[in-house]
Amino acid sequence: MYQTTLKTRISCSGVGLHAGEKAAMTLKPATAGTGIVFERTDLNNGGRFFPARFDMVSDTFLCTTLRNASGATLSTVEHVMAALAGCGVDNALIAVNGPELPIMDGSSEAFVFLIECAGVVALDTPRRHLRVLRAVEVRDGDRVARIAPSESRSFRCEIVFDNPRISRQSASLDLDREAFKSAIARARTFGLMEEVDGLRARGLALGGSLDNAVVVSGETVLNEGGLRYENEFARHKVLDAVGDLALAGAPILGAFEGYCSGHALNNRLLKALFEDGDAWRWETAADDGERLAALA
């Protein structure tokens, strides 16, 4: 019913996936209506803030990067965004001392742990959500991302990989805090061994290791301990979609479906949704009460 924020500030540190540099991050409470805003503490006043919105996304290769009006960038926001959305946090300021957020173990588990340690409190302003009124779909060849009207916030992702261990798999989520935490938050990002050398040659994934990504070579999962779920790969795609769609700036009441979708297509889906003024509307908890009263 009401917007939320964190009860107190809380910090962690880790390496950034792409540059491989150490990053320190602090999650802080924020007032109602702030939304999620990132702050790069290594930059000067004007250019240090990055509202977490779909229209600030500048790059979606491997991760979601935000670019602000002064041209500064901040990368790998999606797993923190997923944790905040999964835990129902509407407003927070996320301070980080460099151009990348820490990757932690490649999932959202550490961020969920931090949010739960800090605690989540309700503010006195009603929450608004974005209700999908008709289906919107974007495609890139065979890849599809789609959002359709629904009374719940559901996600379904299917992936098909030319790899015998990943192959074809799917995962679903009806988004609430417990379901996100138990079924999705621990699913790690992943890659194929044969891609790793190419990424390193391009100066990417320099901080990547078996500590923060599942790496697959043929039939074999190279990580000691193997997978956390048999369909961990598809579950991570759901995690990414939760984070990418949180860039709408409010919870979306709708059913998301992705077929081989990723950050780029998820971002195009949000742009297509917002461009079609008949496909959605803002609603608040108060509107819901009136609607239910009208139906009764």
Binding segment toward Zn ion, per CB under 5 A, in 28-36, 129-137, 235-243, 267-275: 235-243
Cα dihedral sign, 263-264-265-266: positive
Task: Give, in order, the Cα–Cα distances in Å from 35 to each of 4, 124, 190.
Answer: 10, 15, 29
Note whether 109 binds Zn ion by CB under 5 A: no
Binder of Zn ion out of 189, 212, 223, 266 (CB under 5 A): 189
Residue number with CB closer to Zn ion (146 or 237): 237
Least Å distance, CB 49 to Zn ion, is: 24
Residue number with CB closer to Zn ion (30 or 213): 213
Binding segment toward Zn ion, per CB under 5 A, in 24-32, 222-230, 234-242, 264-272: 234-242
Are 133 and 217 contacting, i.e. CB atoms less than 8 angstroms apart? no
Q: Which two tokens stand for residue 4?
A: 């939320």
Task: Give, in order, the Cα–Cα distances in Å from 263 to each of 5, 26, 53, 258, 289.
Answer: 26, 24, 13, 11, 35
Catalytic status, residue 263: yes
Least Å distance, CB 262 to Zn ion, is: 9
Binding segment toward Zn ion, per CB under 5 A, in 4-12, 14-22, 110-118, 240-248: 240-248
Using DSSP, state whether 84 is helix, strand or coil. Answer: helix
Could you tell me which of 64, 76, 57, 80 has the C-alpha nearest to residue 11?
80
Binding segment toward Zn ion, per CB under 5 A, in 28-36, 186-194, 212-220, 273-281: 186-194
Note whether 223 binds Zn ion by CB under 5 A: no
Residue number with CB closer to Zn ion (100 or 240): 240
C-alpha span between 271 and 36 (Å, rounded): 18
Residue number with CB closer to Zn ion (5 or 266): 266
Contacts for 47-52: CB closer than 8 Å, 24+ residues apart: 47/71, 47/72, 48/72, 50/74, 50/77, 52/77, 52/81, 52/246, 52/247, 52/249
Residues touching Zn ion, count (CB under 5 A): 2
Binding segment toward Zn ion, per CB under 5 A, in 12-20, 47-55, 188-196, 264-272: 188-196
Least Å distance, CB 79 to Zn ion, is: 6
One-letter identity of residue 64: T
- Cα angle value 167/207/12 (rounded, 5°): 105
Least Å distance, CB 50 to Zn ion, is: 18
Least Å distance, CB 107 to Zn ion, is: 8
- Tell me how many helices (H) and strands (E) the chain has: 7, 20
Least Å distance, CB 129 to Zn ion, is: 24
Q: Which of 18, 79, 129, 263 is catalytic?
A: 263
Note whether 240 binds Zn ion by CB under 5 A: yes
Residue number with CB closer to Zn ion (209 or 284): 209
- Cα angle value 142/248/138 (rounded, 5°): 20
Residue number with CB closer to Zn ion (81 or 93): 81
**Active site positions, annotated:** 263
Binding site for Zn ion (CB under 5 A): 189, 240
